[in-house]
Amino acid sequence: MLIIIDSNEQDLPSPSLFNRMNVDKIWLLHLFPRFKAWQYKEKLSSVLKQEVKIEILNPKNLVDFEHLKKNLLDFIASVPSLLKISDSSLSEYLTIHGLNMWWTSGVVEATPYKQDLLQNLYYLSAIYHAIQELKMTAVWFQVKNKSLEKDLIQMLDNAKIKYYQGSKSHQRTGIISYAKRWKLLRLTVFLTMHLTSSILFKLLSPKWLNTQNSKTIPKFIHLFYTFYPFTINIKDSLPEIKIYGCLPSVLSKNLGGEAYYLCYISPKSILHPMRLIKDMRNFWEKNIRLIPMEIFISLWDIIHVFLSPTRYFKYFNLRKDINYRKAFKIEGIDLFHTFDECIKNSLLGDDAWENLLHYHAFRKFALNYGEKTFHIFYYLEFHSWEVALLLGVKDADKSIPLIGLQQSAPNPTLLSFFFSPIMFKNKSDRYPLPDLILCSGKLYRELLLSYGINSDQVEVIGHIIGQYLNQLPYSNELKRKKRNEINLPNNRKICLVPCSIDMSLTEGIMYLLEDVVDKLPEVLFLIKGHPDSPIKVLLDKYNLNSKENVKATEHNIATLLPLSDYFISTSTSVSQEALWLGLPQVNLDIGGLPQANPLHLVSNLIVDVETQGDLIKFFLNTEKYGIPKNKRALFIEETKIDPCHKILNIVISKFHK
């Protein structure tokens, strides 16, 4: 029998089931998080009365991840040619209120932490190969993802496999669960919030743009996209603008004009109007030219975004099409329910509202101030709202240079950063791109060029605010001094362990450390929790709070990294920073998808650790796990020219001669 689990809260099959079926061996496939397979095996063994062998299957040994990823990307790129709706191409059919909602769909974005396409295909492929290779005739499963459940049942039915299902963990009750189902109530709340904020900001915001003398200053706007409170905020009563560093001041000083920040405000922030208004006024008083996006969205646009029936009509008409139901098969695996859920959310969910609001705001800005704008900068991750921003600007004024600044360190699972070359072959209907993409290192440029993106559109500039770029490792004397300042010992090696925002992954870290720390008393394990994921409960659960060589810390990563000797993590961009400082490191491969570390973009650059035994091997032979320093320039270019001035030179040569 094959047992399939995709959840933290796992049920156990009834022991009587195994007795009735005379099961003598169980294969266990724990999809996410994988480290839970060992715990589940122990629980299952404890309730079985007869001798039954249990063997854990690792999806990594069943599925060729790179092959699967390429097939998925090629398939996504081919979907518009597979589906013709009412004699229209999919792009034409899904252009709603002026916005091409195919290009802003979650299918095209496909990044795992927002959509389920990649992981569901990976999990179903692992199940398919396990059934085929082991000649399974019976399956017991419990999964929390509704679309995965439906596609799995469909697969088992088609293969005529007998199956048994545990409790449906996704069917929860409670106020939050019911509120999510009350879509009409959610729609009403969001509509009211955006109408209120639009009126409020139109009344309160300084008239920054209207006070300029447009006759004497042909261009005066350097526009930067921001997102309150995540990339622009008030910290200790002072404005904090992330990502762009000194770029706004460098551009305005050398080209004239001023920096303006067109800001999308988180819907949750609108629920706290007094705090929001206080922060906005703080920006304005400090002469930060922050303009809430709602100022450029008319009340009619807001009503139309939330209440127009067109998107609903288009989606339900799409579902009626006979070809739609048959369109989503990849290598024999039917993912109809996974793709359908993604398309439905893209047209009818929160992302649809957000994308349409971005489209209307930037279109209106470009119509009104296009000829007064030097350029528009935004941070680039190829998300759906970025496409809406691009299309809004270009629909109004194609002459405004749009510049995407690479923000994150993508890993091989971050599909929004990966494309099939098919995406760019159709010149009349190709994926929208900015006029210029600024990358931190040549690895990313080569990756983008491999898709067929024009080489003139991609430049390497280093990293604007990487605090490690010019920092040499501390001398022993300075390291001792710095450690003393924050009460860290000097008689031990320090291993920095940053946790994940995903509590399942953080628990996996604790699970691996539980028995390892006792075997390494000479190492202090410095555990840095994620701001949005408290770790005390997990430290207690795995008895790490009582360990003499384990310490939780609230100091920031920038302070801790230069004081550390080793670095272990799971799926974090901080791995690049540890590489920059030359720290020996490994990746804790404990989640669902493999290759989730940014360093996995270079084959065999970082070693994966899945067991406590392998983690101990790392500490006993750390010199074997050092990564050559010359590899760091692949990710972040070492440049003698300040990156902001390098950007200045590039934009002058391309757009402002």
Q: What is the DSSP string of 145-197?
A: -HHHHHHHHHHHHHTT-EEEE---TT---SHHHHHHH-HHHHHHHHHHHHHHH
Pairing of strands 99-100, 95-96: antiparallel
List all residues 6 or more positions away from 121 whose beta carbon is below 8 Å from its beta carbon.
68, 72, 330, 333, 335, 338
Higher pLDDT: 437 or 21? It is: 437
476-635 has the same fold as 2-64+116-165:
yes
CA–CA separation, 546 and 534 (whole Å): 17
DSSP, residue by residue, 482-544: HHHHTT--SSSEEEEEEPPSSHHHHHHHHHHHHHHGGG-TTEEEEEE-BTTB--HHHHHHTT-
Give residue 547's pLDDT band: very low, low, confident or very high (50, 70, 90): very high
pLDDT band at 215 (very low <50, low <70, confident <90, very high): low
How is the beta sheet containing 2-6 ordered, strand by strand? 53-57, 25-30, 2-6, 138-143, 162-165
What pLDDT score was predicted for residue 169?
55
Check whether domain 476-635 has CATH 3.40.50.360, yes or no = no
What pLDDT score was predicted for residue 177? 47
Q: What confidence category does residue 182 fall into, taking pLDDT thresholds of 50, 70 and 90?
A: low
Nearest-angstrom CA–CA distance, 595 and 95: 35
Cα distance between residue 57 and residue 68, in whole Å = 18
Token code pair at residue 52: 């039954």
pLDDT above 60: residue 469:
no
Cα distances (angstroms) measured from residue 388 to each of 301, 591, 626: 15, 32, 42
Beta strands in 58-171, from DSSP E residues, in sequence order? 84-85, 88-89, 95-96, 99-100, 138-143, 162-165
Average pLDDT over every residue of 517-528: 96
pLDDT band at 519 (very low <50, low <70, confident <90, very high): very high
CATH of range 2-64+116-165; options 3.40.50, 2.60.120, 1.10.10, 3.30.9: 3.40.50
Please tell me the predicted confidence (pLDDT) of residue 470.
55
Write down the mean pLDDT value for the chain. 91
What is the pLDDT at residue 47? 86
pLDDT at 173: 47
Is 608:591 a contact under the CB 8 Å cutoff?
no
- The structure tokens listed for 245 are 């560093």
Q: What is the pLDDT of residue 175?
A: 47
Average pLDDT over residues 401-406: 97
- Look at residue 164 and tell me whether its pLDDT is greater than 50: yes
Confidence at 613, pLDDT banded by 50, 70, 90? very high
DSSP 8-state symbol, 460: E
* pLDDT top residue among 78 and 167: 78
pLDDT at 179 over 50: no
Can you tell me the mean pLDDT for 162-190? 69
Average pLDDT over residues 451-465: 92
The residue-averaged pLDDT of 529-557 equals 92
Q: Is the pLDDT of residue 233 over 50?
A: yes
- Residue 440, classed as helix, strand or coil, is coil
- Inter-residue contact 430 to 452 (CB < 8 Å): no
Per-state percent for the chain, helix, strand, coil, to nearest 5: 50, 15, 35
378 pLDDT band, cuts 50/70/90, is very high
> Regarding predicted confidence, which is higher, 109 or 230?
109
Q: Is the pLDDT of residue 171 over 80?
A: no
pLDDT band at 180 (very low <50, low <70, confident <90, very high): low
Cα 15–chain centre separation:
40
Residues 6+ apart with CB under 8 A from 544: 510, 513, 514, 517, 525, 527, 538, 550
Q: Which residue has the higher pLDDT, 408 or 443?
A: 443
Place of tokens 């957000």: 354
* pLDDT range class, residue 471, cuts 50, 70, 90: low
Give 588-610 as a DSSP string: E--SSSS--SGGGGSTTSS-EE-
Q: Where are the domains of the chain?
A: 2-64+116-165, 476-635
Provide the 3-class DSSP secondary structure of residue 638.
coil
| Average of per-residue pLDDT across 404-410 | 91
* Rounded CA separation 123/63 (Å): 9
Peptide linkage before 229 cis (omega within 30 of 0): yes
